[in-house]
Structure 1
Amino acid sequence: MAVEIRRGSDRFAEREVGRRTLHAFSFGARYDADHVRFGPMVCHDEHLLGRGRGFEPHEHAGLVIVSHVLSGALEHTGPDGSGGSVVLEAGQTGLFRTGSSVTHAEVAAAPQTRFVQVWLAPDDPAALPGEPSYDVVATPVEPLPGARFEVVTLDDGDTFRTPVAPRVHVFVGRGALLRSSLAEPLHDGDAFLFTDEPAHDLVAGVPTTLLVWTFI
C-alpha cells in the first residue's frame, strides 16, 4: 500500500510563446526515473494556451488520449488531419483513439484555454482499437478495459470517497482539498497517487473539480 502526493510545483515546465505545459511524468528529453508511468498512464500534462496556440499537425500511434477542458475551449482537427474539427468547451471531455497511426492538431479556440491531457498505453496492444476515432464523451467513461475516468465536482465541504482499486489517481483540476491525515491541503495542479489503498475521504475546502482515474 502506498500514497504519493505529487505537487503541481514539482512537475517539469515547458514554455514557448502562448503555451505553458506542466508534465507530471517523463516526457521527451526529460527523464524522471521516479515518474515514468502509473499503470497504463504514461503522460499526464496540464496545458495553458493562448488563442490559436497549441499543437500543429503531428502523429500519434498506439495510444488512447483523454483531454478534459477546465476553462476556455480546445479545437481538435483530425483524426486524419484533413477532416473536420471538434471544439471541446469547458467541462467537456474528448476521447481520442489513435489506432496504429494518426495525424491531428489541437489549438485553443478561446483567449485562454486550460486543459488536462492523459495518454494511456496498455501493456497489451490488443486492448487498443485498430481504427482512429475522436468523440466527445460524458464521464464516467472507460477508455480502456480496466481504466475508468470520472470528473467529480464538489461544493465547499463536500466529501469524495476514493475508489478501491490497485491504482487510483486523483488530480485537483481546480479548487482545494482540506488538510487530512494524508497530507496538507491540496490545490490546483496537485495529485494523489494511491497504490493498493483502502478508500479515503477527501473534503473540498472550496468548490472543487477532481479528475479521477481508476485502474484495475
Structure 2
Amino acid sequence: MDVRRAAERYRGGDPAAGIDSYHAFSFGPHYDPDNLRFGAVIACNEERLAPGAGFDEHPHSHTEIVTWVVEGELTHRDSAGHETTVRPGDVQRLSSAAGVRHVERNDADTPLTFVQMWLAPLKPGGDPSYEIVHGIADSTPYAVPEAGAMLHVRRLTPGERTAVPDGAYVYVHVVRGEVRLEGWELGPGDAARITDAKDLEAVGVTAAEVLVWEMAAV
C-alpha cells in the first residue's frame, strides 16, 4: 500500500482566474515519469472554482472522466448537446472516446469544490457518451466497464467499518473526514494505492466520505 498525502499534490490551475487545482498524478506541465498512472487511474484532480470561474471549452479523447462534487454546483456542457448541473452526491461520467469538447463552470454565487478522476479505457476510439446518476447510494457501485473499473462511495460514521473491495488495483481517495486503513490514518485529500488488495477494511475515525476505485489488472 502506497499512501500519498494531500500536501504532496502538485498545485496547478490559474489562481488569478479563480481556479485552484491539486493533482495526484503527472499532469499538464508537471511531468513525473514515475507517477503516470495507477491501474486505470491516470488523474485524480481536486478542483476549486470561485463563483463565475471555470474551464472554457476544451477537447478530450480516449479518457473516461468521472466527476464527484464535494460542495457547490458544477455546470457541464459538451459538444454532444448535454447540459447539466452536478451537485454533491451525483456521479457524472463523460466518456470522451474518439473525441468530445466540454465546458465546466461554477455559475453559482458560492465556491465549488469537486474531484475529477480520469481513467484510461481498455480500448481507444468509439463514440462519446455521457451519464449522470443523481444521489448515488453507498450500496450501489458505479461501473465503468470501458476502463475495467468500479467506483464505490462510502460515507462512514465515527467508528463505522467498511470492507475495501478485493482487487488487482484499488485506489482509495478521502473526500472529507478521517479514516483508518491498515494502520494508516488518512485525511481529506489523502489517497492510498493498493496492489492485490484482499480482506482489507476502512474505519471512520470521524464522519467521513471516501471514494474507492476497484480495478482489474491491466
Partner of 2:202: 202
TM-score of the pair, normalised by structure 1: 0.90
Q: Per-residue CA shift, 1:11-55, capped at 9, x if unaligned? A: 101142211100000011211233110111111111011122121
Aligned counterpart for 2:131 among listed residues 125, 132, 135: 135
- 2: distance between equivalents of 1:104 and 1:121? 18
Partner of 1:174: 176
Query: What SS is found at the alignment partner of 1:196?
Result: strand
Residues 84 and 198 (structure 1), Cα distance of their counterparts in 2 relative to 1, 3 Å cut: closer
Partner of 2:43: 43
Please state how far the C-alpha of 1:59 moved relative to its aligned partner.
0.4
Counterparts in 2 of 1:30-109, with a 5 A limit? 30-80=30-80, 83-109=81-107
Q: Per-residue CA shift, 1:116-158, capped at 9, x if unaligned? A: 1111113432xx6x22222112451111252001211111111
- 2: distance between equivalents of 1:104 and 1:122? 19
Please state how far the C-alpha of 1:109 moved relative to its aligned partner.
3.2
Amino acid at match of 1:120: L
Counterparts in 2 of 1:13-32, with a 5 A limit? 13-16=11-14, 17=16, 18-32=18-32
- 2: distance between equivalents of 1:162 and 1:84? 34
Q: Which runs of 5+ in 1 are unaligned?
A: none
Question: Aligned-residue CA RMSD in angstroms?
Answer: 1.6
Cα contact 1:79–1:133 (8 A) shared by 2: no
Residues 215 and 181 (structure 1), Cα distance of their counterparts in 2 relative to 1, 3 Å cut: closer
Identity of paired residues, percent?
34
TM-score of the pair, normalised by structure 2: 0.89
Give the count of matched residue pairs: 207
Cα contact 2:165–2:197 (8 A) shared by 1: no
Q: Which runs of 5+ in 2 are unaligned?
A: none
Amino acid at match of 1:143: V
Counterparts in 2 of 1:116-135, with a 5 A limit? 116-125=115-124, 130-135=126-131
Cα contact 2:157–2:204 (8 A) shared by 1: yes
- 1: distance between equivalents of 2:101 and 2:166? 37
Cα contact 1:70–1:90 (8 A) shared by 2: yes
Partner of 2:154: 152
- 2: distance between equivalents of 1:200 and 1:148? 17
Partner of 1:163: 165
- 2: distance between equivalents of 1:141 and 1:201? 19
Q: Per-residue CA shift, 1:55-100, capped at 9, x if unaligned? A: 10000111111001111110001143xx351000112110111121
- 1: distance between equivalents of 2:123 and 2:98? 14
- 1: distance between equivalents of 2:112 and 2:145? 27
